Amino acid sequence: MSAEVFLDARVEVVLGGFRADVALARGRGVTALLGPNGSGKTTVLKALAGLHTLTSGHVRVAGRAWAGDVRHLPPEERAVGMVLADPLLFPHLSLLDNVAFGPRSRGMPRASARARAAEELGRVGLADLAGRRPSEVSQGQAQRAALARALATDPELLLLDEPLSALDPQTRSATRADLAHRLREFPGATVLVTHDPLDALTLADQLVFVEDGRVVQAGTPTEIIARPRSRYVAGVVGLNLVHGTLAPGTPATLALPGGGELVVAEVPAGAGAGDELLATINPAAVTLYTAPPEASARNLWQLDVAAVTVTGQRARVRLHGIPGTDLVAEVTLGAVAQLGVSPGARLWAGVKATEVAVYPA
Amino acid sequence: MSAEVFLDARVEVVLGGFRADVALARGRGVTALLGPNGSGKTTVLKALAGLHTLTSGHVRVAGRAWAGDVRHLPPEERAVGMVLADPLLFPHLSLLDNVAFGPRSRGMPRASARARAAEELGRVGLADLAGRRPSEVSQGQAQRAALARALATDPELLLLDEPLSALDPQTRSATRADLAHRLREFPGATVLVTHDPLDALTLADQLVFVEDGRVVQAGTPTEIIARPRSRYVAGVVGLNLVHGTLAPGTPATLALPGGGELVVAEVPAGAGAGDELLATINPAAVTLYTAPPEASARNLWQLDVAAVTVTGQRARVRLHGIPGTDLVAEVTLGAVAQLGVSPGARLWAGVKATEVAVYPA
Amino acid sequence: MTTRRAVARLPLVAPASVGVAFVVLPLLALLIRADWAHLGTHLSSPVVGQSLRLSALTTSLTMVAVWGLGTPLAWLLARSEHPLTAWGRALITVPLVLPPVVGGVALLMTWGRRGVLGGWLESTLGVTLPFTTAAVVMAEIFVAMPFYVISVEGSMRGLDRRFDEIAATLGAGPVRTFRTVVVPMVLPGIAAGSALAWARALGEFGATITFAGSFPGRTQTAPLGVYAALERDPQAAIALSLVMLLVSVVVLGALRSRWLR
Amino acid sequence: MTTRRAVARLPLVAPASVGVAFVVLPLLALLIRADWAHLGTHLSSPVVGQSLRLSALTTSLTMVAVWGLGTPLAWLLARSEHPLTAWGRALITVPLVLPPVVGGVALLMTWGRRGVLGGWLESTLGVTLPFTTAAVVMAEIFVAMPFYVISVEGSMRGLDRRFDEIAATLGAGPVRTFRTVVVPMVLPGIAAGSALAWARALGEFGATITFAGSFPGRTQTAPLGVYAALERDPQAAIALSLVMLLVSVVVLGALRSRWLR
Amino acid sequence: ASSSPGTPAGGTSPGEAPRTVTVLAAASLTDVFELIAADFEADHPGVTVEQSFSASSTIVQQVNEGAPADVVALAGQSSLEPLEQDRRATEPVVFTTNTLELAVPADNPAGVGGLDDLTADGIRLVVCQPEVPCGAATQTLFQQLGISPQVASFEPDVRATLSKVALGEADVGVVYRTDVAAAGDRVVGVQIPPADNVVSSYPILAVSDSPLAQQFIDEVMSGRGQQHLAGAGFVAP
Ligand SMILES: Nc1ncnc2c1ncn2[C@@H]1O[C@H](COP(=O)(O)OP(=O)(O)OP(=O)(O)O)[C@@H](O)[C@H]1O
Ligand SMILES: Nc1ncnc2c1ncn2[C@@H]1O[C@H](COP(=O)(O)OP(=O)(O)OP(=O)(O)O)[C@@H](O)[C@H]1O
Ligand SMILES: [Mg+2]
Ligand SMILES: [Mg+2]
């Protein structure tokens, strides 16, 4: 992964009432693009592919101008590969012919195109199924074939729009491994749109978060896990995020915008009263009680249960009531039954000051 | 919830190559029907509704015969209400007219039917949206309207086929609360098909598990959480399940069918060598290592990572390699990064004998 | 770039343009050659009003019959899993191919006084069908219904079966379900099928003149009027055709914009 | 219970049965009244073979033209977002309503010796179209293409746009995408549209007789043959019609079972 | 000659006096029969004449299948043959005759001046198909003359033949004299010498027992009727 800028783009696109304006300057390697529904991720990808015309901005890949002030290469003239959530394999072609479609379209003779396709199918472990129709393979296999198809044209830019989201959890996991493996070999730049933090953390070198058509945070996975800068980003990495103003005096306390406060154990070096700070709380560090406890937790609120979700023997409980923010707590299934955690219930939630991580806003 | 038998059914249905044969004898209240995909849950529900004709068996509700040897009431003559995963509201009717459809079809005059519909909509919190078309409300609201529609005919039997599965997690949680609330008021019997353990645990008095068209386990949620009797049931309640034969000697050891063994701390009173036993292991009690540890875990295997899924800051790791079974471990996201847990990796997994719960098969 | 793009699309645009031209040029020629100066005179002839009124009447009755008979038929075909259904569907398609004049002969053979059913009709009910306005309507139903049934059955087959099932659990029998759920839900398909069937009925000539004759005011519909006028007064025939075109473009256009996607 | 169920469905089954009977009875009457004893004689007349061969030839050529021109047209209509598209679509529908004889007149006014384009064609290229087999094909295209375009456009509009987009990112320009992705994916719709269009072309009479005349072996297609025979020998006409029906049931049946759902 | 739509046809119902008489006539009789019907209605107050004009063969087919008609007037004796005996209520009588004429476009671009030009090179000739009366007469004409000219098209009826000429697609067509007259200034007639010409007889007969049927036939045969026919170019038998 070289450091020189390989993908240099600023795409401004207006679609009806929506406007995206996103700049990306990246070397080779994988960039994950994350953001809430409707934030413009697909729009950016389509603009890079040439499926949307830029309102302004430019796209330059490997030093070649794909789009700019007077230039708009149609998609078929860009060295691009695209995979969407649906495999969208052409149903009338075998997997082999699906993968050979790109090379054929770019002028390769039939025999070489098919040889190339067979090679790509082999790389994603589908050599045996080359002759099958898309309807005769599983969804995971279809998605791997779609990846092979996108890569068979030797694109310089690979665009993946939630490539794993339509797969059931088991298949997703296996396909993620194949994808990771194949991406490691891919020499160009990849932009990967995803909602799944695991995709982002395991596949990408760099994360870019967009909200409402704008970039809100970008950085390596480690940077982002440690210091999410928006509610959405914090949600992706599974943390509670609180925005507050450092109050004067001790213990160090953040004044929350809605009127509450949060006692913290330490503040960033050099922070003074009145500074805007961000604080994260691990959901597992939130303790729930039916009655106010005599405990060491410095922060204690009475809150309403808004929602409960369960994975395995663990439940994530979304609580309402701290002005301006929701708090997520993670408890065992046993605790759910014992505390009577169900939407509408009123509970006490405690957080030790030492469990709050604080950094500048 | 009275104890007398209100719903008494044995439905045998043959569909192409598939055959379901399920008996239910239940009082009023909610029965959850769980099972893997294709196990016949929907088939049973449709048979109860009269949408499939019984090959043999009978359906009696509130002492009235709906189906039997010579009798097959068509659905429109059964006092039944049905809600599927899709709301399936009639798109050309307002919510009010959707809900009034049942009473009207059963002969109620228009004005009373609409009054009744307005009342039902009010009960699910949709009084304000009565005039809207289905396309103008959110999915969660549509599903609540579908519930109101099913209940507006005062059914004796309410059939819910994964009523929450098509909703996104947040909406699902809110809708689950409405459903729970409304079911508490419902005087008849409810059969609820679901894949979601939380639905089963929070909404049902009784769980019935079917696999391949047969009942494999039935009981109250507490009984089932404590002693799942099949791999699927264990999966629903988030536990690892192992089937083994008690080996002679100490420490107490289960011989696993594939050839491995599992050391346990205690065995059920009266169990002797050669007895078939079931054992559960909480995924959180499984520890992962990159190298064989010097630790107290009596059970230690070298296993391959098959799949990883993440919720919040916790990952569930599916491991391959104990003959005849997969083992799920639950670890933190930090551990995932630190141990390099990704599909294909080889790890050591340890389980303390004291963490294994054993009961007769 | 735009020109390059246009060149790339030429192999599509060129044949499509030829296709449009092929259909539109003759219509333009009709317009150009129409005797605009005397259009008023041509159209004020009583034959024009009479035959247009009769066409309006008969095609309306035809559509009522096609809706009443064809919609349940389409629904039963759409939901039937009987192996004979495919045959039923094929039989319904046949009148599409029959030369209309032969269709008229077949209708005479069925409903004429010596026809398979007509004789019985006359002896028991005293009803004779040929040469009546009813015969015109029957001829139009015969040629138009297949278009309707084939088109509507297609949309009905696309209707999610679970809607029927839900309606049944709510207490609606087959007829109520059909009336209150199926028909409202496939209205766009019904509109499309109606447009095709109505257009076919409006243009119907051969079966009508054979089965119903050409009696002004009773069986002489607009196409028969056009045919009759073509010899003596071709300009009147063209004027009448233009009116038919105008009416149908308006009717179809209104339908399309309201119902068709 | 079964009888109760049957009674409940009666209001659907009864009109549907009437509908089927209405279409099928005349066909049965044709079969009953056919002169089976002399069928061989009727069919062995050279006119029969000649006109059937000509119909086979002209409808085949028509389908080639309809495919070649109509498919790109349907695709452009399906994907166009231009406000004029709705107008284009309405114009294409018009020949459905035009009485075929008037359609023939319109074709003469366009391509005839004194037609808008025909005069120019004759003076520069020395080509005269009326009275030729080419004119038969043109008349058939004129009446049949609208059925094809309307039907195929419907299926094409149902095609997921993302397939076009994926094909473009793979390097396929508009024409290649049309050829290798769109057409193969809407083949069932193309088959259905082809069935309608072919049936219409096979039954075409009025426009053909007006634009192309009737000359055995050159412009006298099967329906024209039927019409001619009808004058002197109705039994021969019916025999020829039955052959047309048989051919079309076989062709449509084969298409239906292979392509239509 | 009209009535409100939906009135059932037929003057044959026994008991009451018939109010309508239904006449099926060959298309070439359209104008004349409308005049005759007007006279008839004037003389028979309260009686309506219903007329349908189509090809002679269609008329015969309709009557054979029992369509409710009272009077049938056909072009050409041969058209009568398929009319089943038991449909005939009276013996057919020939009420008029017609002869052939050449029709050329108003500007006569090919300069057709007579029968000789039919065989000239490059002349586009259209005739009626041999199955219909005018076509049969045309074939007889060609046989009598001993010529077999190149024909561009055998049209299904006079109307189609004439419209080819009127639109200028054909240089010449062989049609009935009366059709040339009816077409007005859109075509010009070129006479065929009486010696060469073929005479077609027009038979009329009743196909119901209605007294009005015979009365209508009488009207056609009357001096007034024959005068109308002569005015349109027909020749009394
Ligand atoms: N063709 C269009 N016309 C008008 N608005 C559009 C169009 N396509 C998308 N939008 C709007 O643009 C915004 C961004 O859409 P986009 O699909 O890029 O979001 P996204 O980030 O990919 O969301 P998701 O996570 O749901 O896929 C949305 O508000 C959407 O409604
Ligand atoms: N109409 C049918 N004809 C033949 N087989 C059918 C039919 N309907 C369902 N089946 C089969 O019956 C079995 C049970 O299907 P059913 O829909 O009842 O399963 P389910 O438990 O509801 O599954 P899921 O959780 O996926 O909804 C499946 O194997 C299915 O393929
Ligand atoms: Mg998107
Ligand atoms: Mg199911």
CA–centroid distance, residue A39 to ligand 3 (Å): 8
Cβ pair E67, E59 in contact under 8 A = no
A324-333, C20-29, C215-224, E207-216: least confident range: A324-333
Same domain, D70 and D196: yes
Same domain, C6 and C94: no
Whether the pLDDT of residue A192 is over 90: the answer is yes
**Of how many residues is chain A composed?**
361
Cβ pair B264, B358 in contact under 8 A = yes
Whether chain C has a CB inside 8 Å of the CB on E30: the answer is yes
Peptide bond into B251 cis (omega under 30): yes
Of all residues in chain C, the one with the smallest CA distance to E182 is: C232
- The low-confidence residues of chain E, meaning pLDDT below 70, are 1-17
Average confidence (pLDDT) over A36-50:
89
Same domain, D50 and D171: yes
Q: What is the pLDDT of residues E161-202, one digit of tens each?
A: 888 898 888 999 999 998 888 888 889 999 999 888 999 899
Could you tell me whether strands A157-161 and A189-193 are parallel, antiparallel, or unpaired per DSSP bridges?
parallel
Ion ligand 3 neighbours (CB, 5 A) are A 42
Average confidence (pLDDT) over D225-231:
82
Same domain, C90 and C24: no
* A234: in domain: no
The number of helices, as runs of H, and strands, as runs of E, in chain D is: 15, 0
Q: What is the pLDDT of residues C159-204, one digit of tens each?
A: 888 899 999 999 999 999 999 999 998 887 788 788 778 888 988 8
Pocket mutation for ligand 1, best pick of A11, A18, A164, A208 (most atoms within 8 Å of C-beta): A18
Residue A173 and residue B318: Cβ atoms within 8 Å? Answer: yes
Whether chain B has a CB inside 8 Å of the CB on D7: the answer is no
Q: What is the pLDDT of residues C147-159, one digit of tens each?
A: 888 878 877 877 8
Cβ pair A197, A165 in contact under 8 A = no
Whether chain E has a CB inside 8 Å of the CB on C110: the answer is no
Provide the chain A residues 262-291 that lie in CB contact (below 8 A) with chain B: 282-284
- The low-confidence residues of chain B, meaning pLDDT below 50, are 1-2
C66-70, C245-249, D66-70: least confident range: C245-249
**A85 confidence band (pLDDT: 50, 70, 90):** confident
The better pLDDT of the pair C37, D168 is held by D168
Same domain, B187 and B264: no
Same domain, D53 and D139: yes
Within 6 A (CB) of ligand 1 lie: A 15-16, 18, 35, 37-43
What is the CATH number for D142? 1.10.3720.10
Name the residue with the closest Cα to ligand 1, atom 6. A15
Average confidence (pLDDT) over C11-18:
89
Q: Which residues in chain B touch residue C171, judged by CB atoms under 8 angstroms apart?
A: 76-77, 102, 105-106, 153
Same domain, A301 and A153: no
What is the CATH number for A302? 2.40.50.100
Same domain, B174 and B253: no
Same domain, C10 and C85: no
Average pLDDT value over all residues in chain C: 84
**What is the pLDDT, as a whole number, of residue E10?**
43
Percent of chain A residues past pLDDT 90, beyond the cut: 35
Task: Give C4 to chain A, closest Cα distance, Å.
Answer: 10
Whether the pLDDT of residue A44 is over 90: the answer is yes
* Closest to E129 (Cα-Cα) out of D225, D55, D112, D217: D225
Joined tokens for residue C92: 């319904």
Task: Give C194 to chain B, closest Cα distance, Å.
Answer: 20
Q: What is the pLDDT of residues D52-89, one digit of tens each?
A: 999 999 999 999 999 999 999 999 988 887 767 777 77
Provide the chain B residues 334-353 that lie in CB contact (below 8 A) with chain A: 337, 342-344
Helices (H), ranges, chain C: 2-33, 39-44, 46-65, 71-79, 85-93, 100-111, 118-125, 133-157, 161-169, 174-177, 183-185, 187-203, 206-212, 222-232, 234-259
**What is the pLDDT, as a whole number, of residue D4?**
61
Q: Which residues in chain D touch residue C15, judged by CB atoms under 8 angstroms apart?
A: 68-69, 72-73
Whether chain B has a CB inside 8 Å of the CB on C168: the answer is yes
> b/e for E157-169, b at 16 or more Cβ within 10 A?
bbbbbbbbbbbbb
Cβ pair B336, B330 in contact under 8 A = no
Q: How many CB atoms lie within 10 A of CB A144?
A: 28
Give how far the C-alpha of residue E15 lies from the chain's centroid of Cα atoms, to the nearest Å: 34
* B232: in domain: no
Same domain, C120 and C201: yes
Average confidence (pLDDT) over C212-222:
89
Fill in the amino acid letter for A173: S
**C45 confidence band (pLDDT: 50, 70, 90):** confident
Whether the pLDDT of residue D97 is over 60: the answer is yes
A117-121, A160-164, B97-101, B135-139: least confident range: B135-139
Name the residue with the closest Cα to ligand 1, atom 24. A37
* B306: in domain: yes
Same domain, D109 and D226: yes
Same domain, B282 and B208: no
Average confidence (pLDDT) over D17-42:
86
Contact call for C and D: 3+ CB–CB distances under 8 Å: yes
Preferred mutation among C1, C10, C22 to probe D, highest tally of D CBs within 10 A: C22
Same domain, B112 and B144: yes
Cβ pair D113, D130 in contact under 8 A = yes
Ligand 1 atom closest to residue A195's alpha carbon, by position in its atom list: 25
Which of D114, D130, D228 comes nearest E156 by C-beta?
Answer: D228
Of B226, B248, B272, which closes a domain? B226
Residue B173 and residue A343: Cβ atoms within 8 Å? Answer: yes
Same domain, B131 and B31: yes
* A2: in domain: no
Same domain, A185 and A314: no
Indicate the number of domains in chain A: 2
Cβ pair A184, A177 in contact under 8 A = no
**What is the pLDDT, as a whole number, of residue A296?**
62
Q: 3-class DSSP state for residue B297? A: coil
Average confidence (pLDDT) over C30-57:
85
Of all residues in chain B, the one with the smallest CA distance to C185 is: B92
Same domain, B204 and B314: no
Joined tokens for residue D155: 């299926």
What is the CATH number for B119? 3.40.50.300
Of all residues in chain B, the one with the smallest CA distance to C188 is: B92
- What CA–CA distance (Å, rounded) separates A61 from E227? 95
Which of C57, C128, C216 comes nearest E8 by C-beta?
Answer: C128
Same domain, C93 and C25: no
Q: Which residues in chain D touch residue C230, judged by CB atoms under 8 angstroms apart?
A: 101, 105
Average confidence (pLDDT) over A186-202:
85
**What is the pLDDT, as a whole number, of residue B24?**
92
Cβ pair A253, A264 in contact under 8 A = yes
Average pLDDT value over all residues in chain D: 84
**D98 confidence band (pLDDT: 50, 70, 90):** confident
- What CA–CA distance (Å, rounded) separates C167 from C182? 10
**What is the pLDDT, as a whole number, of residue D166?**
94
Whether chain B has a CB inside 8 Å of the CB on C158: the answer is no
Q: Which domain covers residue D23, as residue numbers?
A: 1-33
Same domain, A175 and A256: no
Joined tokens for residue C211: 């089965």
Q: Which domain covers residue A201, as residue numbers?
A: 7-226
Of B167, B199, B226, which closes a domain? B226
For residue B35 and ligand 2, the question of a CB distance below 6 A is answered with: yes
Q: Which residues in chain A touch residue C8, judged by CB atoms under 8 angstroms apart?
A: 74
Q: What is the 3-state secondary structure (H, E, C) of chain E?
A: CCCCCCCCCCCCCCCCCCCEEEEEEEHHHHHHHHHHHHHHHHHCCCCEEEEEEECHHHHHHHHHCCCCCCEEECCCHHHHCCCCHHHCCCCCEEEEEEEEEEEEECCCCCCCCCHHHHHCCCCCEEEECCCCHHHHHHHHHHHHHCCCCCCCEEECCHHHHHHHHHCCCCCEEEEEHHHHHHCHHHEEEECCCCCCCCEEEEEEEECCCCHHHHHHHHHHHCHHHHHHHHHCCCECC
CA–centroid distance, residue B292 to ligand 3 (Å): 44
Of all residues in chain D, the one with the smallest CA distance to E78 is: D232
**What is the pLDDT, as a whole number, of residue B146?**
94
Whether the pLDDT of residue C137 is over 90: the answer is yes
Same domain, D15 and D48: no
Same domain, A215 and A319: no
Indicate the number of domains in chain C: 2
Same domain, A190 and A271: no
Start-to-end C-alpha separation, chain A: 31
- What CA–CA distance (Å, rounded) separates B84 from B193? 9
- Residue B60 has phi, psi (to 5 degrees) of -125, 130
A2-6, A208-212, D175-179, E191-195: least confident range: A2-6
* B88: in domain: yes
Same domain, D93 and D111: yes
Sign of CA dihedral D95, D99, D104, D107: negative
Q: 3-class DSSP state for residue B328? A: strand
* A231: in domain: no
Is the ipTM of this structure higher than 0.95?
A: no
- What CA–CA distance (Å, rounded) separates A120 from A100? 9
Same domain, D28 and D51: no
**C53 confidence band (pLDDT: 50, 70, 90):** very high
Same domain, B326 and B294: yes
**What is the pLDDT, as a whole number, of residue D261?**
43
Of B191, B226, B261, which closes a domain? B226
Cβ pair B309, A173 in contact under 8 A = yes
Percent of chain D residues past pLDDT 70, beyond the cut: 92
